[in-house]
């Protein structure tokens, strides 16, 4: 047991009481004590580890998760494309294409991810099978790449198109962008009205 002794200046210095040499405890616990109850030690160790790990973190922006989802969904058979909202339509008007078009994510209170996807599917395909394939692809890619749990996948089918209809829409949009200038005006406006070409 330790006692405090004072010197002439009034400073306190620790000293060991030689009358009780057995009172000094070995800092390592005995084997019997260590085997008694590990559960409380594990809880304390977990709490201590939390404090040590609090300086490190790994976070993902919603945009990253949305992109992972969009790329996974595009590979699902029967999905022709993604259908975005009004923001995507405005972006496309100016020639910008969003890689996350048709996808939104929400983080749940328990830090899982809920995914909302809007797609265009091919005419003649079985929508429930596409839904199952989309869920599998999303969970596999999001969990595999981020380690996050997927709390749910909501699939909204916006349209059913034949491959020809889909191609015509996309070629039509591409031709529209190619044939119009940055102000949306037709590049062919230099054509003279009839009767003035003589």
% of the chain residues with pLDDT over 90 = 39
Cα–Cα dist 91/102, whole Å: 13
Query: What does the pLDDT look like over 64-83, one tens digit per residue?
Result: 999 999 999 999 999 998 88
Residues 150 and 112 in one domain: yes
What pLDDT shows up at residue 94? 53
13-54 residue pLDDT tens: 444 444 444 444 444 444 444 444 443 333 333 444 555 556
Q: 113 pLDDT band (50/70/90 cuts)? A: very high
Residues 80 and 175 in one domain: yes
Average pLDDT over residues 77-93: 65
DSSP-assigned beta bridge partners for residue 159: 120
Tell me, yes or no, whether 163 and 82 share the same domain: yes
Which pLDDT score is estimated for 189?
42
146 vs 166: which has the higher pLDDT: 146
**Residues 130-144: b if buried by 16+ CB within 10 A, e if exposed:** bbebbbebbbebbee
* Nearest-angstrom CA–CA distance, 121 and 77: 9
Query: CATH number for the domain including 101?
Result: 3.30.70.1350
135 and 72: one domain? yes
- 60 touches 148 (CB < 8 A): yes
Domain count, the chain: 2
């Amino acid at each position: 047991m330790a006692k405090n002794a004072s010197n002439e200046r009034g400073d306190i210095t620790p000293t060991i009481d030689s009358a009780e040499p057995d009172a000094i405890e070995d800092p390592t616990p005995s084997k019997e004590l260590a085997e008694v109850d590990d559960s409380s030690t594990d809880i304390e160790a977990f709490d201590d580890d939390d404090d040590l790990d609090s300086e490190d973190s790994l976070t993902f922006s919603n945009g990253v998760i949305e992109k992972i989802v969009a790329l996974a969904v595009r590979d699902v058979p029967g999905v022709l494309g993604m259908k975005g909202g009004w923001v995507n339509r405005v972006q496309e008007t100016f020639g910008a294409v969003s890689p996350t078009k048709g996808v939104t994510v929400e983080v749940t209170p328990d830090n899982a991810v809920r995914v909302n996807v809007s797609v265009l599917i091919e005419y003649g395909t079985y929508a429930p099978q596409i839904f199952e394939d989309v869920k599998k692809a999303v969970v596999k890619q999001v969990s595999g790449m981020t380690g996050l749990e997927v709390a749910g996948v909501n699939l909204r089918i916006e349209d059913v198109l034949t491959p020809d209809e889909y191609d015509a829409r996309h070629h039509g949009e591409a031709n529209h962008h190619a044939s119009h200038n940055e102000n949306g005006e037709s590049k062919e406006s230099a054509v003279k009205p009839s009767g003035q070409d003589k």
